[in-house]
Amino acid sequence: MGWVATRRGASNLAVAGAAGAAHPPPDPSLEREGGVIALLTALSIRNVVLIEALDLEFGAGLSVLTGETGAGKSILLDSLGLALGARADSGLVRNGEAQASVIATFDPPTGDHRAAALLIDNGVEMEPGEPLIIRRMVKADGGSRAFVNDQPCSAALLRELGGSLVEIHGQHDDRGLLNARGHRALLDAYGRCDTGAVGTAHSAWRKAAAALAEARATVETAARDRDYLAHAVEELRSFAPEPGEEAALAEERATMQKGARLTDDLTTISECLTGSDGGLAQLRQAARRLDRIAGEEPLLTAVLEALDRAVVEAGEAEDRLAEAAEALSFDPARLDSIETRLFDLRGLARKHQVQPDDLAALCEEMAAKLAAIEGGEEHIAALETEVATKAAAYRAAAQALSGERQLAAGRLDAAVAGELAPLKLDAARFRTVVAPLDEGQWTGQGMDRVEFEISTNPGAPFAPLIKIASGGELSRFILALKVALAEQGGADTLIFDEIDRGVGGAVASAIGERLARLAQSNQILVVTHSPQVAARGAGHLLIAKSSDGTVTRTGVHALDDQERREEIARMLSGAEITAEARAQADRLLETL
């Protein structure tokens, strides 16, 4: 069968065994800027170490997990960690089984939730309103597979996605608030420091700097060719090539060369036709004589007519011969000049590896490059001025942001300090370090390095959290920070593993009060041995181990009000529950 644990009429969580049916609780939502937060709603575990089959459902608020030492609380957390991207160890597979599996179900991340962005960036499809389901399987012979909404998922994406949804704080925690890389964003969220202006200024500065670098590289490359370009432009401009010039010169030279070959023949032909002894003169003389005697004989008239036609044709031939001689006449000096220019024109074309007709355009192109080189220094000076202006704007915006961060750091330090004493950390000191970065490390997020540091004892130096605190002390520091930061970033579901280790009484009560306060904006799961903390939960899970003599199993039971009273009494008194322990349990529950 299944069980439902209730408190003050509000169902918070449910649990079912392999044969039982889960009772889904109502899901009071928690709101944050950017959308409804993505709560862990269900956890299904199969064949993980001592857990054969277990289905858990969770709601908003504070849920506590209790049980005897060795009952298997760590197995439950290991199972969840496996679903969130922890190392897949085949030792987690229950003895005799082929594989273990864990399914974690979350509310769909919406708005600007980091998990939503990760899903989009990695092409993981989600139907609107559908839950986010992460499934991880580990084989007994090694190897594992992960799926997000039934789509295969890499281990790297699973770790990043899990970190955006759940933070597990315990003795071996090295993520979440202990990761200094996220401290700057947390401080900015806490102080409501707007990095938009800095990001815009940084982008403009980098863009101007890139343009300057490109211009310098262009001028530097072109400057190496300055002398060559200057010489080439001067040479081409002096020569003044024109498109079509090669064809015109070649045609003129061919005509002159033809005239040189035909000159002697034309002169001989002209001498045969013209002059006092030329053929044309002889024809004319013959025609005059024939004209005087043509009347003596009718046949001579026909001869005269033919001779007159010959004189006319010979005259025309003489005229055409003169025209041809004129056309084919040439000046040897001109021919030599044409041949020299044609040779030089073709030589320049070969030198510059272009066609002769393209030399004029090449000259203009080279002249433009030379002008760019000569004007490059002026252009670079203008770009340098622009870069300096943009850099100054970025520095001003980043310095203003640094000032905001310093003020926010002071407020955060005071807020955390107010939380330390009630948590039995009154000798410790906390500080938020806002230190300048080297210029090469400046980004669109500013020019500051932000890190949370603590000193655990008077006179002890400050150092990062992870290097000083340990165990329950570390968890209490995390709790103090989380309470101070309240809704400012981080995962929506926080799990604290034995945060009350080594403390009791008033300190345990203070821990419980702060967990309950934090649960107003986050979903909180806490593994605890403290009755004061357990009494604060909106829901209570009891983890217990059972054996039938051959097989040992870990089970989880959601407690109702009466069962919860008994469990808190057990935590107060030990193995034997006394009436006094039950009365004390009632007082703890009634005062909350």
Domains and CATH numbers, the chain: 1-167+538-558 (3.40.50), 227-369 (no CATH)
Per-residue confidence at 34, pLDDT binned at 50, 70, 90? very low
pLDDT at 555: 84
Residue type at 148 in one-letter notation: V
Give the mean pLDDT of the chain. Answer: 82
**Sign, Cα dihedral of 359, 364, 370, 376:** negative
pLDDT at 490: 64
Per-residue confidence at 381, pLDDT binned at 50, 70, 90? confident
Lowest mean pLDDT among 213-217, 256-260, 303-307, 505-509: 256-260
- Which residues, in sequence order, are bridge partners of residue 62? 524
Sequence-ordered list of residues with C-beta below 8 angstroms from that of 390, at least 6 positions apart, any chain: 201, 204, 205, 207, 208, 209
Which tens digits make up the pLDDT trace of 8-28?
A: 233 345 554 433 333 334 344
Q: What is the percent of the chain where pLDDT is above 70?
A: 87
Between 329 and 76, the higher pLDDT residue: 76
What value, to the nearest 5°, has the Cα angle with vertex 233 and ends 370 and 211? 15
Which tens digits make up the pLDDT trace of 131-181?
A: 999 999 999 988 899 999 999 999 889 988 988 888 887 654 545 577 788
Per-residue confidence at 486, pLDDT binned at 50, 70, 90? low
Per-residue confidence at 4, pLDDT binned at 50, 70, 90? very low
- Are the C-beta atoms of residues 337 and 347 closer than 8 Å to each other? no
Which tens digits make up the pLDDT trace of 397-416?
A: 999 999 999 999 999 999 99
Flag whether pLDDT at 29 surpasses 60: no
Residue 458 to residues 299, 431, 455, 467, 540: CA-CA distances in angstroms? Answer: 156, 14, 7, 17, 39
pLDDT at 17: 44
Between 90 and 111, the higher pLDDT residue: 90
Chain Cα centroid distance, residue 94 = 41
pLDDT at 146: 92
Per-residue confidence at 433, pLDDT binned at 50, 70, 90? very high
What does the pLDDT average to over 481-508?
A: 77
Lowest mean pLDDT among 131-135, 317-321, 333-337, 406-410: 317-321
pLDDT at 285: 75
Between 237 and 299, the higher pLDDT residue: 237
Between 4 and 46, the higher pLDDT residue: 46
Q: How many CB atoms lie within 10 A of CB 141?
A: 8
pLDDT at 10: 34
Which tens digits make up the pLDDT trace of 268-311?
A: 777 677 766 777 777 777 778 877 877 777 788 887 788 788 87
What does the pLDDT average to over 431-455?
A: 94
Between 473 and 386, the higher pLDDT residue: 386
pLDDT at 360: 92
Which tens digits make up the pLDDT trace of 502-556?
A: 777 888 888 888 888 888 888 899 888 889 999 988 889 998 888 776 777 888 8
Nearest Cα residue to 533 out of 77, 67, 62, 169? 62
The H-or-E segment that residue 212 falls in is helix 196-223
pTM: 0.60
Among left, alpha and beta (phi > 0; psi -120 to 50; other), residue 88 is beta
